A and B are shown apart, each in its own frame.
Chain A
Amino acid sequence: MATRHDTAAPPAKEGGAAPGRPAPVPTEAEQRHRARLSRRWQRDKRWSPYAFVSPFFLLFLAFGLFPLVYTGWASLHQVELTAPTDMEWVGMRNYTRIFDDDFFWNAAKNTLTIGIISTVPQLLMAMGLAHILNYKLRASTFYRVAMLAPYATSIAAASLVFVLLFGRDYGMINWALHFVGIDAIDWQNDKWPSQFAVSSIVIWRWTGYNALIYLAAMQAIPQDLYESAALDGASRWKQFLHVTLPSLRPTILFTVVVSTIGASQVFGEPLLFDANKGASGGAEHQFQTLGLYLYEQGWVNQHLGRASAIAWTMFLILIVIGIVNYVISRRLRASS
């Protein structure tokens, strides 16, 4: 950024019509001034980039790294929210107890099942929607914007509406089901219905988002691939299977990774799904996710040390998931 082109005059060409100008001799003061400027530019050139990236790293240090390290430190102590500075060293006890903490493993299992029930249909539906949107449609921009509307809605507002829909006694879904002869389902208190209901909020929110990602990738697929496939007599379905899907592979991997991370952190939807029981995730903890359990231990029961240990365990689990994803994606890339 600090290059200057106007400091030196262009050298006079030899053999020009005008006699060669003698190079202007800079005075000593001018030379010093130039040298100073030059040093400043050097410094500028060298350090400015760091200044420009520094806000991110300062932010990361303050709100990313420090909490991470401090949480790790707190997880080795017994510490209560009522006196956070009053820490008592307990070593790995907070971690070892997780191994026989039924509530933790219950939450882990719920996170996994809710993750599967929400992610798999979500991505399949997103793919289908993207495929449809990829056709020539009237008012396609409208549909694309509409896809993104749920994503733009706040979790709180969406969850509250879903709670009303899934109500046992006065909910619209049970009301609709009774016409087809299905008895009232207690969406909040029964295990699978409640997990399905929580997943449906997640699905509703994220399907459009993923569909737009798929759509963007689909539009980057060269049209002549489809033309030649059509010439070879491939049906629409065959085209989808043998042209669209392989071209989307990297995008699919991306959405799978992002959705997995999202699913392992599901928090707002189950928290608000049963506002009264809050962080316990239902009467039998039937939809308590890891995020909720962490919140319950730290902020409801005020056991910050335990909560920190849970947070770190979750972090480690996420790293494992990340590695697994990485390995799978490398295998896939190698095989293609």
Chain B
Amino acid sequence: MRARTRTTRRVVVLAAVASLGAGLLAGCADDGNDDASDGSSSGSGKGKTTITLGLFGTMGFKEAGLYAEYEKLHPDIKIAENVTERNENYYPALVNHLTTNSGLMDIQAIEVGNIAEVVATQAAKFEDMSKVSGVDKSKWLDWKWSQGTTKDGQTIALGTDIGPMALCYRKDLFEAAGLPTDRTEVGKLWAGDWNKFVATGEQYKEKAKAGTFFMDSPGGLINAILSSEKEKFYDSSGEIIYKTNPAVKAAFDLTAKAAEEGLVQAQTQFQQSWDTTIANSKFATIACPPWMLGTIKGKAKAEDAGKWDVAVAPKSGNWGGSFLGVPKSGKHVKEAEAFITWLTAPEQQAKLFKVQGSFPSAPSAYTMPEVTGAKNDMTGDSPIGTVFSEAAKTAPVQVIGPKDQIIQQGLTDNGVILVTKGKSAAEAWKTATKTIDNNLDK
């Protein structure tokens, strides 16, 4: 009897050890697949195919009701998304999954800041979207299409939104400083030249309401100037030229000058205190892609509704935008291709703009009523769709490189921000270039 209980106990112990061990092994085998758990398995019961999307931030497809619409059109399809809040966290994980070929969703989103690197290093892992039936290259803006395409002509991802940049400004603060408030008049103040924009800032400062600044942050200004340049950090042959490109140095110096003169507030965008600055109406202008209006709407106080307006920037540029690609290792490649072909069609892009403010990368959407009739609470009756369409059509075809993000971040966060701390422009440039060179060096 006792012998038997002991055997039983031993069996229990062995079973426990075995299950622990199995758990460990399972843990290893599962590595990298965790985030796929909410739906990458094919079919959810009733013979439906589940397509999974890996997204970052609020891309708004779900919010705009596009999944529901597609599921209605295709009763055998179910769509599940897996959203990572910040691209800084999403992108390294995506690269990891691509290089190990595991844990990928059927569809993966790619931010414009990373698209060049993905195109250059990971193209073999993606399906060629240009070969999918129903995909028509001519529907997209040329530069948007070419950003997602390799030199050999493989299109790894289809464009979703873009970020044509205009300038949002506070009508009440402009009026108090004796500047015009009509959006065409305001646009004329600085048309064609960022130097004129800074000069307007000087004019603003003379009679400005106490405690307010002309622009929100040095990072916002240098970003706006650089995104309107045709070449910034790389030349068309793929060489890094950021240090010798006169346009970059000029943008840096102009921003530093504005910072020295106190035209920009010493803020870093998207930080808590920057949010509070918007809420407290402390600055008069902000570089403004369409999605920024959403940010302003989210942060500003309700009583500021209608006090904002949108004017054309000195030179049009682009800030932001994303792509959707289909990894070859996905479980439902064909279904996924069909889905993003539909999702990025002009009609759907227009719907997305109406609800989410993500601006279409398909020009034929610009004449659709969803775009031409768009309004934002903060800008009252302004025809924002028209202003942004104009910017989208005149934005330059910019050369983007694999390490754009690292260079941009160095210039902003380790560069022009220092000028607001009392450093000279030369010192700030030195810190920025030293940081960037170290970060680029393998």
Contact = CB atoms under 8 A, between A and B. Distances in A.
A306 B99 contact: no
A336 interface: no
Interface stretch (A141-149, A165-173, A322-330): A165-173
Contact of B271 (A186, A190, A275, A306): A275
A6 interface: yes
A301 B440 contact: yes
A52 interface: yes
A84 interface: yes
B192 interface: no
B368 interface: no
B431 interface: yes
Most buried by B among A55, A58, A276: A276
A221 interface: no
A62 interface: yes
Interface string A31-45: 000000000000010
A299 B92 contact: yes
B435 A285 contact: yes
A78 B442 CA distance: 7
B21 interface: yes
Contacts of B82: none
Interface in A92-122: 101-103
B421 A283 contact: yes
Contacts of A78: 442
A302 B24 CA distance: 29
A301 to B, nearest CB: 5
Interface string A66-85: 00000000000010111111
Nearest to A78: B442
A280 B272 contact: no
A189 interface: yes
A284 B414 contact: yes
Contacts of B421: 186, 189-190, 283
B273 A306 contact: no
A4 interface: yes
B276 A169 contact: yes
Given A163-B272, A277-B413, A284-B414, A306 B24 contact: no
Given A55-B17, A82-B117, A277-B268, A283 B414 contact: yes
B402 to A, nearest CB: 9
Contacts, number: 90
A34 B88 CA distance: 66
Interface string A52-70: 1011001100100000000
Nearest to B440: A301
Interface in B96-133: 96, 99-100, 117, 121-122
A273 to B, nearest CB: 11
Contacts of B92: 81, 299-300
Contacts of B95: 81-82, 302
Interface string B245-277: 000000000000000000000001111110011
Given A59-B24, A82-B122, A85-B99, A164 B3 contact: no
Contacts of A284: 414, 418, 431
B15 interface: no
Contacts of A277: 268, 413-414
A301 B406 contact: yes
B237 interface: no
B44 interface: no
Contact of A82 (B121, B273, B276, B413): B121
Interface in B375-421: 406, 409, 413-414, 417-418, 421
A168 B99 contact: no
Given A170-B272, A275-B271, 15 more contacts: A6-B3, A58-B21, A80-B442, A81-B95, A81-B96, A83-B121, A170-B276, A189-B421, A276-B271, A276-B413, A280-B409, A280-B435, A285-B414, A303-B442, A306-B442
18 contacts: A6-B3, A54-B17, A55-B20, A80-B442, A82-B122, A83-B99, A83-B121, A103-B438, A164-B272, A169-B273, A170-B276, A277-B414, A280-B413, A284-B414, A284-B418, A284-B431, A299-B92, A301-B406
Q: List the 10 closest A-B pairs by CB distance, nearest first.
A: A82-B121, A301-B439, A277-B413, A276-B268, A283-B417, A169-B273, A276-B271, A170-B276, A299-B92, A167-B273
